[in-house]
Structure 1
Amino acid sequence: MADTAISFVVKWSAKEYAVDVPTNSGTVLCLKKAIEIHTGVRVERQKLLNLKHKGKAAEDHLKLSLLGLKPGFKIMMMGSLEEDITQATTAPENLGDVVNDLDLTEEEVALENREEYLMKISKRVSTYEIKMLSEPRPGKKLLVLDIDYTLFDHRSAAETGNELMRPFLHEFLSSAYDDYDIMIWSATSMKWIEEKMKLLGVTTNSNYKILGYLDYLAMISVHVPKYGLLDVKPLAVIWGKFSGVYTSKNTIMFDDIRRNFLLNPQNGLRIRPFREAHLNRTKDRELLYLAQYLKDIAPLEDMTNLNHRSWEKYRPSGRPR
């Protein structure tokens, strides 16, 4: 007797695809190959989040008939197209493992007023378009956040995005939103940023709003004698776009790589990188502590006198040590 087909619905990247697989002989791998035909996402890139067998992710060799799936069963998939991955992995973030935490002298960091870098920044201000998601709020300071290893462990394997999300992310963003407008600036492509923010549930959380996204195209290259050519995130790009709204006095940036705020070291706080999520997601409290720090410094009219390297020792007046 001929093997009939069963149809499933695969949801990926806000779209749904009807995928047919043989009823009796079809395996999980057959399903993945069919999904690749419809979506272009290669088999090895796919994570089928709700396809389980005995409480674990269904392995490729398993027959779909063993999973008890009914026709029309909706399968949630994570995965990226090769061109998006290429865009993301060729961005400057790849330098992070080479120069992770710079230890530069005052002479070496005196770069922000160099004419060639001011010209590059001016060009970014005039040509780069920040992807705006909301509007600035009067009287709010600005918090600029990296993604990879700051909010999200992008290298570890997991079945769901929540397993890779830094603990207390939504609580942190909700708390920060009381006093700060929040920008996301990642050294990856805009598509990659949007995908990660959706994956983490940031774009749909009702307790806060993200002001906008900046990607690697807003970065510039600087030359440091000790390290050579480095790509950095000059906050002056944002300050130029929002003249008189955000300045060095009311802006703070969190990034796990110190070189990213090389042109504005007084505004940068190097967050401890969040790696090996499966081992650390029950122990990491970094965002909780930083949420309190942001609360403590929010009343200051000028934050340029703060030493963010010593943020854990900071105590506002009236708060006991």
Structure 2
Amino acid sequence: MASSSMSEEELTLTVRWSGKDHTVRVCGDDTVGELKRRICEVTNVLPKRQKLLYPKVGSKLSDDTLLLSQLPLKSSVKMTMVGTVEDDIIVDPVDAPEIIDDFELGEKEAVDIKDKEVNKQKLRRRIDQYKIKLLNPCREGKKLLVLDIDYTLFDHRSTAENPLELMRPYLHEFLTAVYAEYDIVIWSATSMKWVELKMGQLGVLGNPNYKITAMLDHLAMITVQSDSRGIFDCKPLGLIWAQFPEFYSPKNTIMFDDFRRNFVMNPQNGLTIRPFRKAHANRGSDQELVKLTQYLLAIAELSDMSVLDHGKWESFTEDNVKRRRHS
């Protein structure tokens, strides 16, 4: 493991895996979890499958919240990684422990996280490191809709012979309708292989009625820390805004996710969608995407969507329906 000469904070790490050396760049204020994310980029071994070995460090490398600056790393010693690339990624998220303990940060704490310089630095590094690959061109004058996958568009925990049985009702009707006003980006906290597989199986990719602008995976996320909730990952929309500033900004972007914590770097742009679970029992009654279609089309008329409280989206939709009936 060699220390970078560019700065005291930057580290160029050599990780030995499967008989080969892999180089990753991190910073002292990054966590072990962030190191695993960077290793995943060069090895395709998911962070949860990685076991990192380093002399005299012991079990500390199993603590994803630990800062790299707290570890006694020496330039003369390589790190060893033990891990296996996913062979059957279809069952990957089902095998993983489910995180259902979503939490809502206090307003002051959420603002502190968004405004902390260390988190802004992490975002700047992610902008430099993660380049978004466009599947279809950005369209001038369109707003941006960013969508999560698991429990937002798809029940990834239930079992079925056909993935279409687990698709959220009205998904294609929803995407077709909103595509008239919004460019659509998919952002999942899983691997890109999983994103591509699920979107292909659900018939989202290559659909003749709408187009997906881009897809992002867990490597685009950053790790932040709160005083009350510790360290967690989130999805900073600033990554998209920085790479396509002529098309997207806080004023014309909205993001759906079943975890509100994912919005912490851009809380004014997040809408917490009801999770779609137990697909076989709830498929006949779930109307979430129908109602959200009405909301998205109604607010598309606004020049600045960031002034809205998306937590009150249902009352906004109901008021609009009443006004149309009255007129």
Tell me the TM-score normalized by structure 1: 0.70
Residue 273 of structure 1 aligns to a residue in which SS? coil
1:128 aligns with 2:154: no
The structure with more radius of gyration: 1
Question: What is the root-mean-square deviation of aligned Cα atoms in Å?
Answer: 2.2
Q: Provide the residue aligned with 1:199 in structure 2.
A: 201
Does the CA contact (< 8 Å) of 1:96 and 1:257 recur in 2? no
Whichever structure has more helix as a proportion of its residues is: 2
Does the CA contact (< 8 Å) of 2:151 and 2:275 recur in 1? yes
Does the CA contact (< 8 Å) of 2:90 and 2:194 recur in 1? no
Residue 278 of structure 1 aligns to a residue in which SS? helix
Q: Provide the residue aligned with 2:314 in structure 1.
A: 312
Separation in structure 1 between the aligned mates of residue 288 and residue 315 of structure 2, nearest angstrom: 14
Residue 223 of structure 1 aligns to a residue in which SS? strand
1:96 aligns with 2:99: yes
**TM superposition shift of 1:303:** 0.7
- Structure 1 residues 94 and 230: alpha-carbon distance in aligned structure 2, compared to 1, 3 A threshold: farther
User: C-alpha offsets along residues 269-302 of structure 1, whole Å, 9 cap, x if unaligned?
Assistant: 0000000000011110000000000000001000
Equivalent residue letter for 1:172: F
Q: Provide the residue aligned with 1:19 in structure 2.
A: none
Gaps of 5+ in 2: 1-84
Separation in structure 2 between the aligned mates of residue 84 and residue 120 of structure 1, nearest angstrom: 32
Query: Which of 67, 85, 88 is the equivalent residue of 2:89?
Result: 85
Q: Provide the residue aligned with 2:241 in structure 1.
A: 239
Separation in structure 2 between the aligned mates of residue 164 and residue 89 of structure 1, nearest angstrom: 14
**TM superposition shift of 1:126:** 1.4
- Structure 1 residues 275 and 292: alpha-carbon distance in aligned structure 2, compared to 1, 3 A threshold: same
Q: Provide the residue aligned with 1:106 in structure 2.
A: 107
| Mapping 1:258-273, distance limit 5 Å | 258-273=260-275
Q: Provide the residue aligned with 2:182 in structure 1.
A: 180
| Mapping 1:95-174, distance limit 5 Å | 96-97=99-100, 99-100=101-102, 102-110=103-111, 111-174=113-176
Q: Provide the residue aligned with 2:58 in structure 1.
A: none
Q: Provide the residue aligned with 2:229 in structure 1.
A: 227
Does the CA contact (< 8 Å) of 1:87 and 1:188 recur in 2? no
Separation in structure 2 between the aligned mates of residue 84 and residue 117 of structure 1, nearest angstrom: 34
Separation in structure 2 between the aligned mates of residue 216 and residue 82 of structure 1, nearest angstrom: 15
Separation in structure 1 between the aligned mates of residue 155 and residue 265 of structure 2, nearest angstrom: 26
Does the CA contact (< 8 Å) of 2:93 and 2:157 recur in 1? no
Tell me the TM-score normalized by structure 2: 0.69
Q: How many correspondences in the alignment?
A: 238
**TM superposition shift of 1:82:** 3.6
The runs of 4+ residues in structure 1 deviating greater than 4 Å are 86-91
Gaps of 5+ in 1: 1-80
Does the CA contact (< 8 Å) of 2:89 and 2:193 recur in 1? no
| Deviation larger for 283-292 or 128-137 | 128-137
Separation in structure 2 between the aligned mates of residue 117 and residue 214 of structure 1, nearest angstrom: 20
- Structure 1 residues 227 and 250: alpha-carbon distance in aligned structure 2, compared to 1, 3 A threshold: same
**TM superposition shift of 1:127:** 1.6
Equivalent residue letter for 1:235: L
